[in-house]
Structure 1
């Protein structure tokens, strides 16, 4: 029996790729809109809730730091669990089943936040479940959309991915505006319960389309995957030669074990994530040193694919500081806004007062404005004056914009530390700079990675790209923990800056220095084109 999701198309549409939009797509789009509202709805009120309610048992001076630690630990989990979700879908259960069951875990996490609003362990368990559910489905939903298309309607896929993008920012905008109001006026049970209800609706909608979807079964294990080629390269021996690459990889393993042994001092999240970074960094270097030894044992295309991934990983490593800065808009910037003056605003005769967490709504609005502005105005102007905005140039500029945002936000903090009352509207300029950095780095990063990775390695690249966010938030946790050291605090005090302002300028310098290194590496990087070649009739 024919799959009901597959629709017949006229011959001319089959040849052009302009066949009809699959009937099942609205179910997935509606699911995505509800899921994104639920995620951003709870995430954007997490920091203010922790400071004002859940962490009241701590001394007041320690609450902001602990709230940042909890928030960025949660974000690390969200961007680590995609590895688990992708593995389960690819090897065992397929995308649909993994998305559906992980979504139910997601709903259970929201329920815990609403029910355990005054119970630390119960609330943190809810955050763990949301990280597991949201992270588990993160790499699968967009790929599941792609599964619904074939060569007869492939050109319609862009319309759907554009709708995905808009649904994400649409959900983020309204969640950022509304959830702080619900938290203030109705309390945390309602404020966290509403996102939970939206996630439950997302599950129901997704389930309702189950008989219409195209279900691609899990793929058989690939004997020439990235990890198998890397393992072959590291273990292969040549007569009369040692294995220096394997020695480097072993150093990474030893460093990872040492990091895990520091768990009592550093905490499990920092120790485990740093161990992962050491394994990837030293394992990647070691693999590169001996990669040619895999040739002949694996096809040439697989060996060259691993080489391409290793080159891309250098770019990805240099992008991690961007995520350190970007994700702090929902922690450090919200905490700063808590101490700023919120003026009364009037829009169409309606007066209202912005809440600190509502400033995050500026980001999705700016994203939807800046991307078309770049494509229709800025990039064409650059091309007319002879400057091609290549992906690596865009990403370099994006990191500079991000650093500039933190210089401005640091200046604002200095004024506040000096006793000058500052309006919350002063955060608008940093938000503009930060969002410009986002659209130049985040949106461009996947385009760059997709074009550079061979077809057989594109899945590996997606996993590594998601991990850049985990590593970026790891740097935040490390910095946040280091400033609890008396020697570090003494150094900061001698600098003449307050603690918060010092950290802001530190992150600005961190990103700017990385941008310079990134720009230099970009001049040495040789671009390739690994987009799929269409077969002509």
Structure 2
């Protein structure tokens, strides 16, 4: 490899990357393997003591409580890694907790408390390592090979879907034919293998040490900015932050009427939003008390959080493929198909396997066909441009699914295969948003905040699901139902077009923000230090 290539960031791939990629493939199989059979197992086996008419509702409650935990614990994992133990140690030890959780599911298949304890351990382990593995990938790159990172992040995301695809196909069969002990035990074995593979690469990894007791951390700089006084001036930023804190407390007080999940998620959103706005309003007051680099680092984080906030509507659309789209598929015709002489009937739940399969096809298609074509015609597919297009495509997918629903409401029989088109469009949006977001989040985050930034990226999924819960709760209101009735559409069709419009408006806002976003370069230099290079052209995103 020439010095020119290294200077341009095109140096060789780190040799340790295959250990992390293989670890991710096994871990994702273990997670999706247990998650995809959780609800049917609860309904058919563990919740038999609950009346039949309430069993499905309770299973959904347990499932979504578990998922909320998975996407909240990244905050804990990111904090532990950034402040105390480093990414490698945090990933390794929480992976062992993860394995223990799988063991509990297999052992306590008929014990409610033991099984729920296993779900807690998996949520802690899976959620805790979720932001760190992708950040750990980025740690292996420096200025000499940083342009190879996109290829690796795409491979990383490809492996996630590889594991998800085969787990979606195989684990329901193991549950049906061999029982829950085997069905939950196999994912546990895969997670143990994942942990072993990760450990084998230990001596080859680049280990970025945590910054303990950092006086110039994000929270310290933000606290200084909010509390700093200037003669003759008020503290409007602090006032905004306190309003957010009061609103968060009020939200928690609404738990009895809203439900704990909506109230807690809303409280967190209010704290982050108002606290971030307040800090931005007074950030310059932290100069002098903290180095300019620390102040600019906080500014970079706040700008990243705006990007994450604008991505949350995408997740509100994407995650409903596992709920709203399946409900629609239940009312569609399932044809008999023949493949290599084997006839089978397409079931609604099996459509979920289409998504990871398309991801594995679309990632190389984009890299070898679409992106080179765009560059040839003079359009550089930068991260923020890709994410803008991805959000818009998710809105288009929901326009298509809404058209299908209107046709069904009009009495037109529709084959389940019609859903292939919106699945393809939504998956293209996913590849452009989710895979790109991992790369973007790492490259923009200051060194002391990389683990935490990745945890905020996963938290965006939780906030996206919050919008779904709020919309679903609002359609129970008589006034809202009356307004929907005047549109001439069914409630489900109205919601589909509402979410489509939500995504398209967000894509417009995201694109406008992208033109003002100033990209930074927070990859390590080849001497092991983090080099931050701030862009000079604000419109290049």
The TM-score, its normalising length taken from structure 1, stands at 0.85
Q: Is the 8 A contact 1:76 1:471 kept in 2?
A: no
Q: Which residue of 2 aligns with 1:508?
A: 500
- The reply to whether residue 395 of structure 1 matches residue 402 of structure 2 is no
- The reply to whether residue 99 of structure 1 matches residue 91 of structure 2 is yes
Q: Which residue of 2 aligns with 1:266?
A: 258
Structure 1 residue aligned with 2:134, among 142, 149, 153? 142
**In 2: Cα distance, 1:210 partner to 1:250 partner:** 45
Q: Is the 8 A contact 1:68 1:331 kept in 2?
A: no
* Displacement after TM superposition at 1:323 (Å): 0.7
Flag structure 1 segments of 5+ consecutive residues without an equivalent: 1-8
Q: Which residue of 2 aligns with 1:290?
A: 282
Larger mean CA deviation between 137-146 and 240-249 belongs to: 137-146
- The reply to whether residue 382 of structure 1 matches residue 374 of structure 2 is yes
* Displacement after TM superposition at 1:229 (Å): 0.9
Structure 2 residue aligned with 1:425, among 398, 417, 434? 417
**In 1: Cα distance, 2:258 partner to 2:116 partner:** 19
Q: Is the 8 A contact 1:114 1:192 kept in 2?
A: yes
**In 2: Cα distance, 1:317 partner to 1:77 partner:** 20
* Displacement after TM superposition at 1:167 (Å): 2.5
**In 1: Cα distance, 2:376 partner to 2:11 partner:** 32
Q: Which residue of 2 aligns with 1:5?
A: none
Q: Which residue of 2 aligns with 1:253?
A: 245
Offset from partner CA, 1:272-310 (integer Å, 9 cap, x none): 211111011111111111111111111112212222222
What does residue range 277-426 of structure 1 map to in structure 2 within 5 Å?
277-426=269-418
* Displacement after TM superposition at 1:197 (Å): 2.8
Find the residue that maps to 1:140 and give its secondary structure: helix
Structure 1 pair 358–123 and aligned structure 2 pair: CA distance change class (3 A):
farther
Find the residue that maps to 1:352 and give its secondary structure: strand
Offset from partner CA, 1:352-410 (integer Å, 9 cap, x none): 23333222221122122222322333233334444443333322221111011122222
Q: Which residue of 1 aligns with 2:520?
A: 529
**In 2: Cα distance, 1:262 partner to 1:313 partner:** 26
**In 1: Cα distance, 2:235 partner to 2:89 partner:** 43
**In 2: Cα distance, 1:27 partner to 1:452 partner:** 25
Q: Is the 8 A contact 1:344 1:352 kept in 2?
A: yes
**In 1: Cα distance, 2:375 partner to 2:206 partner:** 42
* Displacement after TM superposition at 1:39 (Å): 0.9
The TM-score, its normalising length taken from structure 2, stands at 0.84
Offset from partner CA, 1:419-462 (integer Å, 9 cap, x none): 44432222211110111111111122233444444445544432
- The reply to whether residue 520 of structure 1 matches residue 512 of structure 2 is yes
* Displacement after TM superposition at 1:510 (Å): 1.8
**In 1: Cα distance, 2:249 partner to 2:275 partner:** 14
* Displacement after TM superposition at 1:45 (Å): 3.5
Q: Is the 8 A contact 1:96 1:215 kept in 2?
A: yes
**How much is the aligned-residue C-alpha RMSD, in angstroms?**
3.6
Structure 2 residue aligned with 1:235, among 207, 212, 227? 227
**In 1: Cα distance, 2:133 partner to 2:284 partner:** 36
- The reply to whether residue 181 of structure 1 matches residue 178 of structure 2 is no
Q: Which residue of 2 aligns with 1:36?
A: 28
Structure 2 residue aligned with 1:220, among 212, 217, 224? 212
Offset from partner CA, 1:205-254 (integer Å, 9 cap, x none): 44566677666554322221221111100000011111111011000010
